[in-house]
Structure formats: C-alpha cells, structure tokens
Amino acid sequence: MAVFCPKESPEWLSPLFSFNKLMIMISHTHFLLLVVAVTLAGCSGKDPVKTVDWYKENTPERLAVIEKCDANPGELAASPNCINAITAANQITLNKRGYEKRTPINLSGSK
C-alpha cells in the first residue's frame, strides 16, 4: 500500500505535529489492529483435535461428536474432530465385521 507523504506539512496541521508523524502514527495503529485481530482469531475457543485412537477408546465422546457433526454437516463435516470420530467409528465397525487388511495382489507379474 503506497502512502503519499508530501515533503511539507499542510498548513492546517500544527508545526509540532507534522504530516509524516501522522502517517507513522496511522501505520502503527494499523499494525496494532492487525496484531489484535490475529490474537483474537487464535482464541476462537475451538476444541483441541483428538486422534482416531482416542475416539476409539472414548465411546461417549465419539458418539457426541458424531451427533454434533450430523446435526450441522455444512460447518463441521470437514473439521478434524468430525473426521477422526467418524473414522474411528468406521474402523470399529469394520473390526466387528471381521475385515482384515490384506496385502495387495501383484497382477502385473513383476516383482
């Protein structure tokens, strides 16, 4: 952002408060506002991200998160906790069904 700074202060400014000082004060104010905005953005109060293994071990929390995600998929479906809770539920379901991880079959014939 380019700021036009004339060499001389306008007549309406007092001699003790030059235009250059005003520009510096405005740029410091913008910087301060940016710092405050970034700080407040970091304090959004979001839940910490839990792992898939944590959700596997904590069934009530997993079910509560999945219910909350299902109630508001537009905002929460892509959140890390929703993804991890749903992944944990899917893995538990697959383990109950007896599915096993199998090694891939090499159909090309090369080793």
13 lies in some domain: no
Please count the structural domains in the chain: 1
Count of alpha carbons within 13 angstroms of residue 17, beta-carbon side: 6
**How many CB atoms are closer than 10 A to CB 24?**
13
In this model, does residue 71 exceed pLDDT 60? Answer: yes
Q: Is position 82 within any domain?
A: yes
Residue 56 CA to residue 111 CA, distance in Å, equals: 37
Where in the sequence is the domain holding 58, given as residue range(s)? 52-97
**Quick one: average pLDDT of 23-30?**
67
d(CA 13, CA 15): 6
Residue 88 is predicted with a pLDDT of 96
Residue 3 lies in a domain: no
Please report whether residue 64 resides in a domain: yes
According to the model, what pLDDT value does residue 14 have? 57
Percent of the chain at pLDDT exceeding 70: 59
* Domain presence at residue 72: yes
Backbone conformation region of residue 81, classed left if phi is above 0, alpha if psi is from -120 to 50, else beta: alpha
Query: Within a domain: residue 62?
Result: yes
| Residue 61 belongs to some domain of the structure | yes
